Structure 1
Amino acid sequence: MLLKDKVVVISGIGPGLGIKLALLAAEEGAKGVVLAARGAEKLDQAEQAIRERVRAAEVLKVPTDISKPDQCENLISQTVERFGRVDALINSAYTPGDVAETFEEANLPGWRSVFDTNVLGTLQLTQAAVPHMKQQGGGSIVMISSMVTRKPWGNASYASSKGAIAVAAKHLAAELGKYGIRVNTAAMGWMWGTPTESWMKQYSKEQGVPLETLINNVAANIPVRRIPTDDDCAKAALFLASDYSMAVTGALLDVNGGEFMAP
């Protein structure tokens, strides 16, 4: 199993990528799956989904707002107290910002709140985990980024924050490699799952465009000619968290069906 006996912390548990990361980590043999999100209801739903598929999985739920340093410390402290170590940290938590906002109309204080979560929050949680990884002789940190950092389509505050964290990951990889800590980034594109499906159905209703047409239009710009699923993308992130990528650090892995190449 890809993550046999590993303790994996996943931030940003929700109905999309977050819960898929947790489910697959459990299925891949993780010793402990640590779930972090601001809402307790999401954590309960994720735990139930894991229990239904992997009864023996050990799950720790810690309500966490990563923009709060003390909550980041608490998350990692509870993990170490329960399992004794932190083998992998997958930074999936984020706030989307205003998708429709143009830069000329931008509310820059709003950008600050996006950066507080997506950049500083992610780094605060990473900073809390690093001392324990150093003490145990290594670990893996995975940053979840986005294709929009290199292929703009709007939502500049979110894209800029994800670009910042991808650059930070390279610096962390260079600094922490001597401790056996690897830091990599997975750049996601379209992901077919609950969030995307819900958005497309709403857009289809509002614009009077058939759902199938919307899906086909998106898929036409992806070389594999389909929208990757949340499961597809979660598997790539877990590869970076696993020992199968022991020789990989400071890398940015495109997990978007090749769409980043499209003009």
Structure 2
Amino acid sequence: MPSTAQPVASERVALVTGAAQGIGEATARRLAQDGTRLVLTDLTEDVVSAAARIAQDFPASRAIGLRADVTDPAATDHLVATAVGTFGRLDTVIVSGAVLQKRGPLAELDPAEWDRVMANNARAPFLLCRSAVPVLPRPGGSIVLLASFAGQRGINGYSAYCSSKAAVLLLTQSLALELAEEGIRVNAIAPAHVESAMGREDLERTAKSRGITEEEARRERDSFIPMRRQATAAEVAECMAFLCSPSSSYMTGACLDVNGGVILR
């Protein structure tokens, strides 16, 4: 019978993408509280300073930040190699980076915009998993991908974004089945509205397109959420941390809905 033992948090190493801000940074901070050692990446240099702050606040994390374009297979290979070269192992990959599309009808959607959204939201998770799977421990490795409630239903004007997040959900399920016997777990988080740069961008666009104030747009948005508020990045990070911890050792192919009741399944 295969062992289900996993290293304690202080021995684990995690690679977190989209870590310069929002859900990614909050997740990195949550893992750092347990002493998980961290390799953080984002498309901007801000990730370097974010990692430095985390390393200062949680020295055991030894967090390092690397600017990288995770739509490039050479970059994802380099990130994984850096984690293994620096810390001797890689236990967890958390893909929390994503981009929002420019809202509009499909007939007016520039193919370049479709490609940009798909590259960042669907190609990047594929490449990161492809680079990391060969080095993840068997058993004990884990992958957590960032999906969205938008991948569970269509949203008017967001065909590219919804399609990209639906791809993440099925990548999660397919890879979970592929790796189950090897003891590597693959799960996803599906948030709805989150206090983040992307959330603020969406609110600004909505307000501008409808000719209302951002506060009016916020109140209207929250009225459709059963809990009447958006999530904090820290609330999503708690779920991320759970899915890559031994506490979820019998979960794979799952998607946690962190949406305040927007979608009930």
CA gap 1:138/1:56 in 2 versus in 1, 3 angstroms: closer
2:81 aligned with 1:77: yes
Give me the whole-angstrom Cα distance separating, in 1, the residues matched to 2:198 and 2:100.
Answer: 12
Partner of 2:135: 132
Shift of 1:26: 0.7
**Contact kept in structure 2, 1:182 and 1:248, CA below 8 Å:** yes
TM-score by length of 1: 0.88
**Contact kept in structure 1, 2:193 and 2:230, CA below 8 Å:** yes
2:35 aligned with 1:33: no
Return the match for 1:46 from 38, 50, 68: 50
Partner of 1:60: 64
Shift of 1:103: 0.9
Which amino acid is 2:263 matched to?
A: F
Give me the whole-angstrom Cα distance separating, in 1, the residues matched to 2:66 and 2:113.
Answer: 27
Give me the whole-angstrom Cα distance separating, in 2, the residues matched to 1:219 and 1:53.
Answer: 34
Q: Which deviates more, 106-115 or 63-72?
A: 106-115
Which amino acid is 1:234 matched to?
A: A
CA gap 1:178/1:62 in 2 versus in 1, 3 angstroms: same
Q: Percent identity?
A: 28
Partner of 1:91: 95
Partner of 2:106: 103
Would you say how many aligned residue pairs link Structure 1 and Structure 2? 256
Give me the whole-angstrom Cα distance separating, in 2, the residues matched to 1:49 and 1:198.
Answer: 25
Give me the whole-angstrom Cα distance separating, in 1, the residues matched to 2:207 and 2:162.
Answer: 25
- 1:102-181 equivalences in 2 (<5 Å): 102-134=105-137, 136-153=138-155, 154-181=157-184
2:259 aligned with 1:256: yes
Shift of 1:242: 1.0
Partner of 2:13: 7
Which amino acid is 2:140 matched to?
A: G
Which amino acid is 1:91 matched to?
A: V
**Contact kept in structure 1, 2:50 and 2:65, CA below 8 Å:** no
Instruction: Report the aligned-residue RMSD.
Output: 2.3
2:199 aligned with 1:196: yes
- 1:11-22 equivalences in 2 (<5 Å): 11-22=17-28
Shift of 1:208: 4.4
Shift of 1:214: 3.3
Give me the whole-angstrom Cα distance separating, in 2, the residues matched to 1:126 and 1:19.
Answer: 20
Give me the whole-angstrom Cα distance separating, in 1, the residues matched to 2:34 and 2:257.
Answer: 22
| SS, match of residue 39 in structure 1 | coil
Which amino acid is 1:19 matched to?
A: E
Measured against aligned partners, the alpha-carbon deviations of 1:10-48 in whole angstroms (never above 9, x if no partner) come to 011232111111111111321x111011222x1123123
| SS, match of residue 41 in structure 2 | strand
Measured against aligned partners, the alpha-carbon deviations of 1:52-104 in whole angstroms (never above 9, x if no partner) come to 53244311222211111111100000100111111110011223232x22112
Which amino acid is 2:44 matched to?
A: G
Which amino acid is 2:127 matched to?
A: Q
| SS, match of residue 223 in structure 1 | coil
Give me the whole-angstrom Cα distance separating, in 1, the residues matched to 2:106 and 2:31.
Answer: 38
Segments of 5+ residues of structure 1 without an aligned counterpart are none
